């Protein structure tokens, strides 16, 4: 399987590490996704470097492209790959606008390519196991969820100030929390009301109504102090009719009729390895849906209006 890398802005290093350890794959090229990326050569001398990703695709004729450019360019490159019949594993969000998302979905479906995206936090071990526990009934019917992502801002590229290139804190960061809510609740989103603030965007707060009267919030910030013990502070709190399950500090905290427990999660599957082996942990339809929800949440923040989510 011939693989290329387009951009290294997001989490494609995780895919690189997997590919380096597989004897059924070769990495035959790497190219920046855009002039914004400052990538002047391959980080691995064994991989041929191309200044233009489209020329690289022509020259290498790959089976699979790992697409992780400046975030706002992902969708257009996914479409180009789909049109060439190249399988894609790309960074989230898979599109930067709702119109582009429609084009991505159409291109992926028309081409029949194998399509996956780096929703890596779905398989963050405590979240992966916690969602399964909730779906297996550990807390009864889910009524209320609060998901949180908090990051250090540290040093970020200038293009984080440009909505077209960054996409925004809700599509870039919040989509993980939206993903958790979907995985834990197992319910569709009906509407969203959100705010987001800062240039670059530093905070956001989204309120969702889900099916069956279930409600959820997503809290996002880039204000985690440098001194904090970890880069991120990922959490979810999930209130059900029969108990409460929380993920915090990488552990699962469960209260239900069986008692009060803190559970260290088992290792979770590796998302990209599963993709390579044809075991998609998130289907393309799920990716289209979660991206649409995130983009509608951003639209709510931009328009200061509640936005309905069609299902």
Measured between its terminal Cα atoms, the distance across the chain in Å is 36
Residue with tokens 């990538």: 39
Residue 308, SS3 per DSSP = strand
Q: Which of 145, 196, 146, 136 is nearest to 171 (CA)?
A: 196
Cβ-contact 25, 1 below 8 angstroms = yes
CB of 309 to a second copy, least distance (A): 14
Contact between 174 and a second copy by CB under 8 A: the answer reads no
Contact between 217 and a second copy by CB under 8 A: the answer reads yes
- CA–CA gap between residue 16 and residue 24 (Å, rounded): 13
Q: What mask of x and - would describe binding to a second copy in positions 57 to 96, judged by CB under 8 A?
A: ----------------------------------------
Residue 93 in tokens? 């969000």
Give the one residue of 51, 106, 264, 305 binding a second copy; rule: CB under 8 A.
305
Cβ-contact 206, 295 below 8 angstroms = no
Give the one residue of 219, 232, 251, 269 binding a second copy; rule: CB under 8 A.
219
Residue 296 in tokens? 């509608």
Q: Which of 265, 139, 122, 134 is nearest to 180 (CA)?
A: 122
Give the one residue of 103, 114, 132, 143 binding a second copy; rule: CB under 8 A.
143
Single out the segment in contact with a second copy by CB under 8 A; choices: 24-32, 95-103, 142-150, 173-181. Answer: 142-150
Give the one residue of 186, 256, 269, 280 binding a second copy; rule: CB under 8 A.
256
Contact between 243 and a second copy by CB under 8 A: the answer reads yes
Give the binding site for a second copy (CB under 8 A). 143-144, 146, 148, 150, 193-195, 197-198, 202-207, 209, 213-217, 219, 221, 223-225, 227-229, 237, 239-244, 255-257, 259-260, 304-306
């Amino acid at each position: 399987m011939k693989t290329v890398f387009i951009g290294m802005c997001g989490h494609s290093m995780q895919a690189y590490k997997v590919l380096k350890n597989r004897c059924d794959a070769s990495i035959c090229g790497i190219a920046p996704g855009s002039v914004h990326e400052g990538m002047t050569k391959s980080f691995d001398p064994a991989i041929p470097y191309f200044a233009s990703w489209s020329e690289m695709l022509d020259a290498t004729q790959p089976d699979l492209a790992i697409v992780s450019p400046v975030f706002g360019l992902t969708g257009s490159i996914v479409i180009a790959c789909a049109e060439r019949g190249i399988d894609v594993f790309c960074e989230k969000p898979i599109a930067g606008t709702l119109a582009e998302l429609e084009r991505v979905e159409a291109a992926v479906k028309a081409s029949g390519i194998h399509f996956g995206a780096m929703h890596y936090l779905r398989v963050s071990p405590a979240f992966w196991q916690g969602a399964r526990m909730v779906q297996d009934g550990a807390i009864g019917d889910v009524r209320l969820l609060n998901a949180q992502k908090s990051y250090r801002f540290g040093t970020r590229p200038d293009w984080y100030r440009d909505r077209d290139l960054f996409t925004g804190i809700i599509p870039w960061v919040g989509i993980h929390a939206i993903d958790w809510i979907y995985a834990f609740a197992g319910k569709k989103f009906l509407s969203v009301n959100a705010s987001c603030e800062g240039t670059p965007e530093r905070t956001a707060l989204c309120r969702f109504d889900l099916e069956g009267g279930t409600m959820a919030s997503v809290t996002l910030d880039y204000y985690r102090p440098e001194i904090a013990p970890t880069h991120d502070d990922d959490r979810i709190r999930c209130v059900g009719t029969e108990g409460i399950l929380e993920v915090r500090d990488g552990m699962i905290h469960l209260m239900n009729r069986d008692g009060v427990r803190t559970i260290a999660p088992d290792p979770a599957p590796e998302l990209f390895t599963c993709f390579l082996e044809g075991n998609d942990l998130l289907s393309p339809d799920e990716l289209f849906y979660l991206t649409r929800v995130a983009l509608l949440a951003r639209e709510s923040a931009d328009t200061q209006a509640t936005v309905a989510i069609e299902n």
